[in-house]
Amino acid sequence: MTSVLRRRQVAEILLKERDDLLVVAGLGSTAWDITAAGDSPLNFPLWGAMGNAAMIGLGLALAQPARRILVITGDGEMLMGLGVLATIGVQRPANLSVVVIDNERYGETGMQATHTASGVNLAKVAQACGFRVVRQIEDLGKLAALRRAIHATPGPVFAQVKVRAEKLPLVLPPRDGSLLKARFRKALLGDLADLD
Asked if the model's pLDDT at residue 82 lies above 70, the reply is yes
For residues 183 and 12, the model is more confident at 12
Give me the chain's average pLDDT, please.
89
Cα distance between residue 78 and residue 147, in whole Å:
20
SS3 24: strand
pLDDT at 193: 67
Cα distance between residue 30 and residue 8, in whole Å:
9
pLDDT at 196: 60
The predicted-structure confidence for 127-137, as pLDDT tens digits, reads as follows 999 999 999 99
In the chain, pLDDT over 90 holds for what percent of residues? Answer: 56
Question: Minimal CA–CA distance to 120: which of 156, 80, 79, 85?
Answer: 79
Asked if the model's pLDDT at residue 1 lies above 70, the reply is no
pLDDT at 88: 98
- Global pTM reads 0.92
pLDDT at 195: 63
Confidence band of 175 (pLDDT split at 50, 70, 90):
confident
Helix (H) or strand (E) holding 150: helix 143-152
Cα distance between residue 75 and residue 81, in whole Å:
10
The predicted-structure confidence for 50-73, as pLDDT tens digits, reads as follows 778 999 999 999 999 999 999 999
**What Å distances lie between residue 160 and 19, 38, 174, 186, 190, CA to CA?**
23, 22, 27, 31, 33
| Distant-in-sequence contacts of 64-68, Cβ < 8 A, 24+ apart | 64/22, 64/95, 64/188, 65/93, 65/94, 65/95, 66/95, 67/20, 67/22, 67/95, 67/188, 68/20, 68/21, 68/22, 68/95, 68/97, 68/150, 68/151
Cα distance between residue 36 and residue 149, in whole Å:
22
Cα distance between residue 150 and residue 156, in whole Å:
9
Surface-to-core class of residue 69, CB atoms within 10 Å of its CB (0-12 exposed, 13-18 middle, 19+ buried) = buried
The predicted-structure confidence for 150-161, as pLDDT tens digits, reads as follows 999 999 999 999
